[in-house]
Amino acid sequence: MKEPERIETCDVAVIGGGPAGLAAALGARRAGAGEVLLIEREKALGGILNQCIHDGFGLFLYKETISGPEYAERLIEDVAREPIKVETGAMVLDLSPDRLLRVNSRGGYRLIRAGAVILAMGCRERTRDMIEIPGTRPAGVFTAGSAQNLVNLQNLRIGHSAVILGSGDIGLIMARRLVFEGVAVKGVFEILPWASGLERNVRQCLMDFAIPLELRSTVVEIRGRDRVESVITAQVDDSLAPVAGTERVVPCDTLLLSVGLIPENELSKRAGVELSPLTGGAVVDESLMTSVAGVFSCGNVLHIHDVADWASFEGFAAGERAARYAAGERAAGRTVRVAAGPAVRYALPQLVTAGREGVEWSFRVTRPLRNVQIVVRGTATGQVFARKKFTRLLPSELQKIAVRTAIEEDIEVGCHE
């Protein structure tokens, strides 16, 4: 006999228990959501924070600098004080547009219908093949985040001498971490003319340890049959193509890749959520709601953040809005579109409800800039809604700009001299 399908329910389901998801569960609860379910696929809450044993977390949320696990711990303690139902070791395998979740855990395989869903699955790392590094396929090539897990959480020695390709924050942090563990770090190679990671990480993780950062250069070949034996590096030209004659053999047994993060939107796609090619995350409105009604997004699954605090702030906001949605509140009215203007890679949210006041945008620039103004203005009328001066802007930094007044037309967030 086939037993009848049992479907459980909750008001707000949060998928992912990292810095964004923890905050989202708290935000939902504090905004009055009844049953909040926080689903985390790892055995413990905290997400990637658990393997980030360095400090630098909490500057904005807690006004002090603490380590990743400590930052997670504070949020986890707050969650524990609320009647939030936490499920760890549970992975959401499917999400339908009508918010039916298929969840698998050692405790059972279940179907859950949620009044609102918050996507907080974080991101994954770009791999060797996505950047197409030619050569052999030996052991010893790790993405920086995987290496961080193996070193920090599993206490494993991943090599004796390493080259790091890409200057993302995890790569920079891992360069220093490997030096602490007695690994010879031969250098960090970055294809762009500037570092992808935060300036403070370049300073504290590379310069303080005399690890060379070679800009405008990349790894053009991996050598070694069983284990990495060396990599060939080369300088690149303005079109990022390797320059013949600049090749150099760098002996090493390990190659770490820190070549970019990608919002992990597999579930979002299953639910039919519209994604932005600029962020790799969902297209959202000012309430962080995606194109699928009742499905919200925050943290690195929405767009890649530079610091965890901002992911958490986004989580609090998404939680609050999701709680209101689950309670029946609906935004009314037409939406206006938000475009990225000159030298701005993206501005988020990409949609705003017409007439809404006090909207704040996150944005990133395409290249390092000095003494510029970021201007929010109407694409049709040219009306300036906000203008903010920056002495310096870096692509590695997520920046903010707010508009106090109501917006009634399509706008553009752009950079002007």
Partner 1 sequence: MGGMPGSIYDVAVIGGGVVGCAVLRELARYDLKLLLLEKEADLAEGISKGNSGVIHAGFNVPARSLKARTNVAGLGLIYPLASTLGVPHRKTGKLVVALADEDRPRLEELKAQGDKSGVPGLEIVDAAAIRRLEPLARGRWALYSPHSGIISPYELTIALAECAWQNGAEVLLEAPVEAVGTDDGMFLLTTPKGTFTARRVVNCAGLFSDEVARLAGIDDYRIFPYRGEYLISDKDCGLRLGMPVYPVPTKDDPGLGIHATPTLEGHIILGPSAEPVADKRDQASTREVAARLKAEAGRLMPELAGLSFIHSYTGIRPKLVDPAGRDRFADFVVEESRTRPGWISLVGIESPGLTAAPALAEMVVAMIGTDMGLTMKAEFRPDLPVRRRFAAADDDDRRARVAGDADWGEMVCRCEHVTRAEVVSALRNPFGARTLDAVKRRTRCGMGRCQGGFCTPRIVEILQDEGVPVDRITKRGGGSRLFYGRLKD
What token pair was written down for 183?
């690994």
Residues of this chain, 4-33, that bind partner 1 according to CB under 8 A = 5
Choice between 123 and 352, CB closer to partner 1: 123
Q: Cβ of residue 274: shortest distance to partner 1, in angstroms?
A: 14
Choice between 153 and 293, CB closer to partner 1: 153
Which stretch of DSSP H or E encloses residue 19?
Answer: helix 19-30
Q: Cβ of residue 162: shortest distance to partner 1, in angstroms?
A: 12
Tokens 């030096």 locate to 179
Choice between 243 and 402, CB closer to partner 1: 243
Which stretch of DSSP H or E encloses residue 207?
Answer: none
Tokens 């859950």 locate to 112
Choice between 58 and 224, CB closer to partner 1: 224
Choice between 114 and 375, CB closer to partner 1: 114
Q: Which of 53, 91, 354, 398 binds partner 1 (CB under 8 A)?
A: 91
**What would the x/- binding string for partner 1 be over residues 233 to 272, using CB under 8 A?**
-------------------------------x-x--x---
Q: Which amino acid is at 243?
A: V
Choice between 128 and 324, CB closer to partner 1: 128
Residues of this chain, 159-188, that bind partner 1 according to CB under 8 A = 159-160, 181
DSSP state of 5: P
Choice between 229 and 397, CB closer to partner 1: 229
Q: How far is CA 312 from the centre of its chain?
A: 11
Using rule CB under 8 A, residue 143 touches partner 1: yes
Radius of gyration of the chain (CA): 22
Nearest CA-CA partner of 339 in 329, 351, 330, 328? 351
DSSP state of 397: S
Residues of this chain, 268-297, that bind partner 1 according to CB under 8 A = 269
Contact 281, 297 (CB under 8 A): yes
Choice between 102 and 248, CB closer to partner 1: 102
**What would the x/- binding string for partner 1 be over residues 109 to 138, using CB under 8 A?**
xxx------------xx-xxxx-x-xxxxx
Edge-to-edge, what's the strand order for the sheet holding 230-235?
217-223, 230-235, 248-251
Using rule CB under 8 A, residue 38 touches partner 1: no
Q: Cβ of residue 278: shortest distance to partner 1, in angstroms?
A: 16
What is the C-alpha to C-alpha distance for residues 275 and 349, in angstroms, rounded to an integer? Answer: 12
Q: Which of 63, 77, 83, 154 binds partner 1 (CB under 8 A)?
A: 154
> Strand pairing of 184-189 and 213-214?
parallel
Beta bridge partners of 235: 217
Choice between 108 and 382, CB closer to partner 1: 108
CB atoms within 10 A of CB 214: 15
Tokens 């997520």 locate to 398
What token pair was written down for 155?
């206490």
Q: How many residues bind partner 1 (CB under 8 A)?
A: 55
What is the C-alpha to C-alpha distance for residues 257 and 252, in angstroms, rounded to an integer? Answer: 14
Choice between 140 and 349, CB closer to partner 1: 140
Q: Which of 156, 207, 293, 402 binds partner 1 (CB under 8 A)?
A: 156
Between CA 240 and CA 247, with CA 242 as vertex, the angle to 5 degrees is 145
Q: Cβ of residue 409: shortest distance to partner 1, in angstroms?
A: 33
Using rule CB under 8 A, residue 155 touches partner 1: yes
Residues of this chain, 203-232, that bind partner 1 according to CB under 8 A = 220-221, 223, 225-227
What is the C-alpha to C-alpha distance for residues 272 and 291, in angstroms, rounded to an integer? Answer: 8
What token pair was written down for 50?
């658990």
Beta bridge partners of 361: 401
Q: Which residues bind partner 1 (CB under 8 A)?
A: 2-3, 5, 41, 89, 91, 93, 102, 104-111, 124-125, 127-130, 132, 134-140, 142-143, 145-146, 149-151, 153-160, 181, 220-221, 223, 225-227, 264, 266, 269
